[in-house]
Amino acid sequence: MKRPLIAGNWKMNTSPTAGFALYKELLSGKNAGAFSEDLEWLVLPPFTHLGAFQQLGGIQVGAQNCSQHSQGAFTGEISVDMLSDLGCRYILVGHSERRQYFKEGAPELIGKVSQIMIAKCIPIFCVGETLEEREQGITEEVLERQIREVFDQFSYISVDVVLAYEPVWAIGTGKTATVEQAQEAHAFLRQLWSKFVGENRAKNTRILYGGSMKPDNAGALLSMPDIDGGLIGGAALNANAFLSIAAEF
C-alpha cells in the first residue's frame, strides 16, 4: 500500500532564522494535531537550513537540487553524498524552474538521477506541460518525452522513484488543474511508469500533484485514485496552510 506524502518545497525563501521558526511551527502543529498516522511529512528547504533542521528532527528534510557530479572542482555545487550525510533521503529533480531558468535538460537530469540512485536516495522527479502545450493537446506527449529522455538510459531503476506532476501553467499563477485534468495526467504517468518498473511497482509508485495545491482544493485532488500526495509550493511557507493540507490526507 502506498504511503501518502506531503512535501513542502520552500524554494529560495526564508532566512535560516525565519526558516527554523517555520520548521518549529510546523513541528509543533504536527505533534499537536490529529493527522493520519500513515502520512509521510517532508520539507525541502534551502541548503543553508538543512543541518539545523536535521538536528531538531521530527519532520524529515530533503533537498531541492543536487549536482550531477560526485565531487570535484564544481564551485557552488552540492553533491548527493553531502546531502545524504545531512540526512536527506529525498532529492527534487527536474523541477520546471530548474528546466526553465537554468536550462537543465536530459544530460543533467540523467546525471543527477544516476548520482541519487548510486547513493540509494530517492528522486522526486518532476514533469509537466506549459500552457501552450496544454492548449495544443500534447500534454501526454510532453510527459512521456520528459520521462523517457531520462529513464530510458537506465537498464534497471534501483530505487522507488517518486513522480511529481506539475502543470507549469498552474505554478504560482493561482490557477489549478481541475481534479479531472490532474487525475488524467496522474493515471497516464502511472501507466507509462509501468513500462519501466512493471505493473506492481508502478501501482505502488507515489505520484504527487504539484500545481498550486492549497487548503481549499487539496481534499478534492487527494480524493482522486492516482494522486498520492502533494508537492506544495507557496502554501508550504505558511504553517497553517501546510497543516490544513496535511489534515486532508
> Is the pTM higher than 0.85?
yes
| Dihedral class, residue 3 (left if φ above 0, else alpha if ψ from -120 to 50, else beta) | beta
Q: What is the DSSP letter of 48?
A: G
Catalytic residues: 95, 166
Cα separation, 82 vs 207, whole angstroms? 26
For residue 77, give every residue at least 6 positions away whose Cβ sits within 8 Å of its Cβ, in sequence order, or none. 67, 69
- Domain borders along the chain are 5-246
Q: What percent of the chain has pLDDT over 90?
A: 92
Cα separation, 112 vs 234, whole angstroms? 25
Q: Note the residue count of the chain.
A: 249
Pairing verdict, β 60-61 and 90-93: unpaired
| Encoded amino acid at 161, one letter | V
Across the range 28-56, mean pLDDT stands at 95
**186, three cell numbers:** 496522474
In this prediction, residue 169 carries a pLDDT of 87
Q: Which residues of 22-59 are buried (b: 16+ CB within 10 A; e: fewer)?
A: bbeebbebbeeeebeeebbbbbbbbeebbeebeeeeeb
Cα separation, 154 vs 187, whole angstroms? 23
Q: In the structure, what pLDDT confidence band is assigned to residue 1 with cuts at 50, 70 and 90?
A: low
In this prediction, residue 195 carries a pLDDT of 97
Q: In the structure, what pLDDT confidence band is assigned to residue 175 with cuts at 50, 70 and 90?
A: confident
Task: CATH number for 5-246: choose from 3.90.400.10, 3.40.50.2000, 3.20.20.70, 3.20.20.220.
Answer: 3.20.20.70
pLDDT tens-digit readout, 87-124: 999 999 999 999 999 999 999 999 999 999 999 999 99
